[in-house]
Amino acid sequence: MLATGAGATSLAMSSCDSAPTASTTTSTTTTPKVPTPLTSKDWRRLGDALIGTLVLPFDPSYATDRLLYNSKFTNPHPAGIAYCESPDDVARCMDFVNRHGIEVTARSGGHSYGGYSSCPGLVIDVSRFNAIEVDTRANTAFIGAGARMIDVYNEVGARDRVLPGGSCPTLGIAGLTLGGGVGVFARKFGLTCDNLRGATVVGSSGERLTVDSSSHSELLWALRGGGGGNFAVATSFTFDVHPMPPVTLFTLQYPWAAASDVLEGWQHWISMMPDELWSGCQLYSQGTYGFLAQVTGVYCGSASALTGLLAQLDTTIGTPPTSSFVSTDAYMNAMMSEAGCSRLSVASCHLPTTNPAGVLSREAYSAKSSYLNAPTNSSHATAFVQAIEHMQSLAPTLGGALAFDAYGGAVNRIDKSDTAFVHRDKLACIQATSSWSSYASTSQIAAGQQWLSWLGSDVFVAANGAYQNYIDPTLSDWQSAYYGTNLDRLIKVKKKFDPDNVFRFAQSIPTHT
Ligand SMILES: Cc1cc2nc3c(=O)[nH]c(=O)nc-3n(C[C@H](O)[C@H](O)[C@H](O)COP(=O)(O)OP(=O)(O)OC[C@H]3O[C@@H](n4cnc5c(N)ncnc54)[C@H](O)[C@@H]3O)c2cc1C
């Protein structure tokens, strides 16, 4: 979760096609053993067969349709982008890629840190699967796989319900859920994937599957944190949702001289806090603006009930904040604030490519993640502070951040093997980011990357793992870092549901050990 938050300094399923009919496997295609060469006529035929739209390199919209969220990925040049309107469209695409032996990848919000939602072959874009329907009696929400988080918050919130998820408004629900989904309600209501009850997917040979605890339950297990792009193309999800609690936001900023105490104190404090309180601690290097240490959070309760908890933070840190913002707000205002959209409408809180009213911009960044198992001692906290100072000296024109996001609470009450998301005994996830504007020089961008590599080898503890949704192409031991003791079971699921490894990318789950 890249911290935004109140006061922080930083950085169409056209009416979602009707849910698939049967819960059984209905294969619409057989995979030929020898791919047939691809001609432009074949692409035309695919376009004609889709209810949705196929965009090809000579189409006017291709220049923007090919782009991912992270503007550092200038290269994606897929041979075709299929904006599917129905699971049958997705099945037709799978038939096509199998017939011609070309690469395929699914794309929802396009935020993959590794750029893994594009490929030289066919991109299956699910953004038109964007229906959001809430059943307040059952406390469930049906959400199309291409819905953006800001729309999820808005629609689910309008029914006085909460689905826990990441704060970034433009994230796609599919990538977020399939890799975990950490957000400000995680300690209270769990990860997004913990709330996943079922999904509809199209498998590697075009079969349509309804996945839940009684049907293809092994796949459901894998979809809960086993990483996007590995097993099937999800077209919709059904989630548990929760009655909306009162929400109080806070942001506390500290003098840089106290940064080490802030980080150390925050770790001890958050490990004693109730589930209702979620918090993050961030250390920033902000170029000419210098450094910033802050603690942010969201409390499911009133500002007065939060006062006592924040007083304990003051005691633990030993230095009072230089600025403090605490505000109880309506849920949607709070989410807009967390999304960095406090002064915007929901429609504007989009990229212009996904909503004509959208005013948000794509960003350029690189990142690396790790975990803290338990509160660190002061020398380790100081090492993190010095790491941010090192970033500033290496790349003074870039933004650098170390963001510590609290786990615990509901996240850690689930057993490691109950879902594919294995990081169940962590105090906090650490995310290091180096971000830059379009004016940044190549050498500064390289220096930021060098800082991340140095962090990975010298400051982060490799054995502590890494968050699969902060997917990191530079990580060599990614299989164990993302999936730990769940890797073997994920490989078995992969072998069963995608035996020919149709869904593959540099860090996809393999079909064998
Ligand atoms: C600015 C920013 C803020 C973020 N904040 C948070 C946060 O607060 N909490 C958090 O947990 N994470 C956060 N993340 C990480 C985010 O969860 C991952 O990047 C996630 O994978 C993005 O999902 P997406 O659908 O937008 O991306 P995509 O790039 O579209 O997809 C990511 C992966 O999932 C696959 N995929 C996409 N759609 C499907 C589908 N329908 N079926 C199967 N596979 C599919 C893709 O092929 C790709 O491999 C953030 C990322 C960014 C860039």
- Pocket probe mutation, ligand 1, options 13, 17, 107, max atoms within 8 Å of Cβ: 107
d(CA 256, ligand 1 centre) in Å: 33
* Residues lower than pLDDT 70 in the chain: 1-33
Q: Which of 81, 94, 127, 168 to mutate to test the pocket of ligand 1 (most atoms within 8 A of CB)?
A: 168
Enumerate the domain spans of the chain.
247-477
Thinking of the domain 247-477, which architecture would CATH place it in?
A: 3-Layer(aba) Sandwich (3.40)
Instruction: Name the closest-CA residue to atom 26, ligand 1.
Output: 109
CA distances from 391 to 128, 237, 457 (A): 40, 40, 15
pLDDT score recorded for residue 257:
97
Q: Which amino acid type is present at position 348?
A: S
Give the per-residue pLDDT at 288: 85
Q: What number of residues does the chain have?
A: 513
CA of 110 to the centre of ligand 1 (A): 7
Ligand 1 atom nearest 231 alpha carbon:
43
**How far away, in angstroms, is 457 Cα from ligand 1 center?**
25
Write the residue with the smallest CA distance to atom 28 of ligand 1: 110
Residue 84's region, left for phi above 0, alpha for psi from -120 to 50, else beta, is beta
Continuous segment of H or E residues that includes residue 495: helix 487-497
Ligand 1 atom nearest residue 235's Cα:
41
Q: Which of 171, 426, 509 has most ligand 1 atoms within 8 Å of its beta carbon, as the pocket-test mutant?
A: 171
Give the predicted TM-score (pTM) of the model. 0.93
Q: Residue 35: its pLDDT value, please?
A: 79
**CA-to-CA distance for 47 and 55, rounded, in angstroms?**
8
DSSP codes, 142-182: EEETT-BHHHHHHHHHHTTEE----S-TT-BHHHHHHH---
Cα 61–chain centre separation: 26
Quick one: how many helices (H) and strands (E) in the chain? 14, 18
pLDDT, position 495:
98
Q: From the alpha carbon of 181, which atom of ligand 1 is closest?
A: 11
| Per-residue model confidence (pLDDT) at position 33 | 59
Report residues whose beta carbon is within 6 angstroms of any ligand 1 atom.
1-2, 69, 105-113, 116-117, 126, 145, 166-168, 171-172, 174-176, 178-183, 228-229, 233-234, 469
Query: What pLDDT, on the 0 to 100 scale, is given for residue 37?
Result: 80
Ligand 1 atom 33, closest CA: 228
- What is the 147 CA–ligand 1 centroid distance (Å)? 12
pLDDT at 231: 98
β-partners of residue 106 are: 124
